Amino acid sequence: MRLRPLALAAVLALAAACGADPSTPQKKEEPALTGGPAERAAQLVARLSDEDLAGQVLMPYAYGSSATEVSPGSAAGNQKLAGVDTPAEMVAEYHLGGLILVGFSADDPTSKNQTTTNVDSPQQVLDLTTGLQKAAAKLPAGAAPMLVGTDQEYGVVTRLRDGVTTLPSAMAFGAAGDPRLTEDAWRAAGSELAAVGINVDFAPVADVLGGDGSAVIGSRSYGSDPKKVAEQVSGAVRGLQDGGVAATLKHFPGHGHTTGDSHTDLPQLRQDRATLDAGDLPPFSAGIAAGAKLVMSGHLDVRAIDPGTPATFSRKVLTDVLRGQLGFKGVVVTDGMNMAPAEKWPPGEAAVRALNAGNDLLLMPPDLKAAYDGILGGLRDGSLPRERLVDAATRVLTLKFELGSKPAPAMSIVGSAAHAAAADRLAAAAVTQLRGNCQGISGPVTVTAAKGRDSTRATLVEALKAAGVEVVDSGGTEVHLIGYGDERADLSKTAAVTVAMDTPNLLAQSKSPSLLATYSSSRASMRALAGVLAGKTPPSGSAPIDVPGLPRTACAA
């Protein structure tokens, strides 16, 4: 029916009063999403454009400690990476499903692909993650929260260090050998990550350390016994996810039996299939059984399964073994796409190859626009089947809805006394005596350390004084500290006690009559060491790897 001029004028006036532009077609309001996380994810995916789907499977890093206000240098970094100035603009421009917060320290073996840092303090991280979530909420997929991840393994790979409870390394957990302590400590740590807005942790490391001791993994591993590592991984997964953060098993199918570094090379796993199944896969199977939400694919040449192809790009490894044999149904995330084995192909082609292999989330592409355009180009030319992208995006959104159902803990729990106590219990149980008597030392103590470890030395001095031990600048019983990356030249020829704060392998070359291992230089580990040196607590840990010429422990049970 045609409206008379007066009636039409009334309609226009009513539309204007309601704030609508009558010349613009009005968007149809979508029905509310219903059901559980998987059902809501499927409903949402059905509404999304190809551009939205492409963005949901990308998890880049960004420059800047704020979502919206960055320095000129950070803006330049974001322009090079993604053609925008700020992290919030990156989220909007590429419809991002996630973003990883990065950072590094001098002892970090993963620093080769960490070119910036966005982590400083708990409040700064909360402000950043809040800004990212505000930007993501404006997207068509904004009904689900954004994935905000980081590598908080503890030990040498710890992104957020100040103002939070820091746990010892994975190897310290292995030395303590008590999955209940593991679960408690990771629950405390997970709740702190959740409080500052981080909902995905790329931990725990599920790699079993081989006899040659993969240098890039080292103390990031829980040990060399597949069964014991599996127990520790399960405890870490349960604790972390009870704390409100999704756990990630890495680096599938296992980075511990190679001396290569996948940041710069393509390491080869030369085990036969039976050895791989028995020696590397059990912690991944256990972590999956414990409910791990993600598994990270490794840039590893698995000779027994798909020789010459990095596992990240191998359908045989990810789809046939991880999905088929191990039954994993969660999100498969790549290791950094800016690492050398992944940069064999241009970023767009690499993105398509990784998705086709079975990955659902692409981490740290070196050129975000190229990766995004490559995914859309793959849809157009058929090299990336749309159903594969839909499948990946659905898994990602399912995870996001699962995480969004849990309220964030209050900031007051961050660095709390209760959490520090959980870290202290674990650290105390980890201290291991590999040579010498197990009764502590008497008289004044002089603490020395390998070059560059003055901060840790000061921490131990403070802890020793708190434990009632007299500390003198010289002339006392020398306690010498060594850590990650130290070599024979860093050993002291005069120390009565040498302490390994990373893998204990170097202790095999020390002449000190007393050898101890903390596996970590965290404050909790230094407090635990002080207790042992003061004779107040026994060194009850047992080395989770073999050290040539030394027992797992010199102390009777």
β-pair partners for 154: 157
* Under 8 Å between Cβ of 246 and 294: yes
Prior bond of 347 cis (ω within 30°): no
Identity of the amino acid at 400:
K
* Paired sense of beta strands 147-150 and 477-482, if any: unpaired
Q: HEC states along 509-523?
A: HCCCCEEEECCCCCH
Prior bond of 299 cis (ω within 30°): no
Identity of the amino acid at 223:
G
From the list 201, 335, 367, 502, the catalytic residue is 335
Instruction: List, in order, residues 6 or more apart from 276 with CB less than 8 Å away.
Output: 253, 254, 269, 302, 304, 305
Instruction: Clarify whether 263 is annotated catalytic.
Output: yes
Per-residue tokens: 86: 């700020």
From the list 255, 257, 263, 419, the catalytic residue is 263
* Under 8 Å between Cβ of 304 and 271: yes
Instruction: Clarify whether 257 is annotated catalytic.
Output: no
Phi, psi (rounded to 5 degrees) for 433: -100, 120
Length of the chain: 557
What is residue 1's three-state secondary structure?
Answer: coil
Give the Cα separation of 395 and 37 in Å (integer).
Answer: 10
Phi, psi (rounded to 5 degrees) for 50: -60, -40
- Which single residue is written with the structure tokens 């349960």? 238
Name the residue among 232, 275, 231 with its Cα closest to residue 254. 275
* Paired sense of beta strands 445-449 and 477-482, if any: parallel
Per-residue tokens: 220: 């990031």
For every residue of 455-512, DSSP letters joined together read: HHHHHHHHHHHHTT--B-SSSSEEEEEE-TT--GGGS-SS-SEEEESS-GGGGGG---
Query: Active-site residue numbers?
Result: 263, 335
